[in-house]
Copies of this chain bind each other. A is one copy, B any other.
Amino acid sequence: MNIGFVGVGRMGANMARRLKERGFQVTTLYDINRAAVTALAQELSATACPTLGDVAAGADFIFTVVSDDSAMRSIFRGDDNLLVNARGKLFINCATVSPDVHVEIEQLARNAGAETLETCMASSITQAREGSLYLMCGGSAETFRRAEPLLRELSSSLRFVGKTGEAAKVKALVNMVMNINTAGLAEGLGLGQALGLDLTMLREVFAQTGAASRVLQTDGEDMQNRDHATFFSAAHAAKDSGIALSLGEAAGLHLPLARATKQQYVRMIAEGLGELDKSGIAELTFKNRHTRRHQG
């Protein structure tokens, strides 16, 4: 069984490394970053393909790990696209994109005699390398079973959520709530610092009380220490909160927290902080941090 990858950023590359290590044939790779794809092709003895059509031609299962709705549409609908001679292929679509886009691509693939499986990832680079991703899949149950052995090697938790688009909804909600908790934590720690409190003590109290959260564990200390090495960028957070907000607007809901959170992440992008980790939102809420950055 041959495996292809479209999009070999840090997530895609680590998933490819993991599968290769587990004995799978990683044959064809594609990325608009030619240097990255060439280097990974050498590392994995795979082919850095010149076209998307070549990726599909040389693989049975093709993982797509691209950045957003527009990138997803372009790899499946552009002049050069994955669906040329795609009969019998299975596309495992891992990008966090709008649910509608998954549904649209499923239909296009079906018309080309191919299958798709929406596979949303709720974890990061380290988990990709270690095969301990949290995966949520949407599509037909049959397609899921076909991809399952492969996905087991990448995940510590694998969940079939329902039809295509459902996993993207769940993923959008996970990230929406995670981003709200992150933005809220940044406000709590920022205010704590302004009040002269010991932030290590404050994080300890948060962890033992109703303020406890997963993001307190993953991002609290980084906010305190200004360590914003990127696992999940502020720009991604803005995009994902935006997907959830659009779904909310379409449903006629009033979501003031989600809106305020998206505005904060959009502000990070506007102020040149979009490539910091999501924990970098503390740069907006701690007194004098971002100002100092401007002045320095």
Contacts and interface: CB of A to CB of B under 8 A. Distances in A.
Interface of A: 122-123, 134, 136, 157, 159, 161, 166, 169-170, 173-178, 180-181, 183-185, 187-188, 190-192, 194-195, 197, 201-202, 205-206, 208-215, 218, 244, 247-248, 251-261, 263-264, 284-285, 287
Contacts of A202: 170, 173
A244 B190 CA distance: 12
Nearest to A215: B210
B211 A252 contact: no
| Copies of the chain in the assembly | 2
10 contacts: A159-B205, A175-B210, A187-B256, A195-B247, A210-B215, A213-B214, A253-B285, A257-B264, A259-B260, A260-B260
Given A210-B178, A213-B214, A173 B188 contact: yes
A136 B252 contact: no
A180 B281 CA distance: 15
A241 to B, nearest CB: 11
Contacts of A195: 169, 173, 247, 251
A211 B256 contact: no
A201 B159 CA distance: 10
A176 B166 contact: no
Contacts of A136: 205
A197 B173 CA distance: 11
Nearest to A181: B181
A16 B42 CA distance: 73
Given A169-B195, A187-B176, A122 B254 contact: no
Contacts of A211: 173-175, 177-178, 181, 214
Given A159-B205, A173-B192, A187-B253, 19 more contacts: A134-B209, A136-B205, A157-B208, A169-B197, A170-B202, A173-B197, A174-B211, A176-B188, A177-B184, A180-B188, A184-B257, A184-B261, A191-B244, A191-B251, A191-B258, A194-B248, A256-B263, A257-B257, A260-B260
Nearest to A170: B205
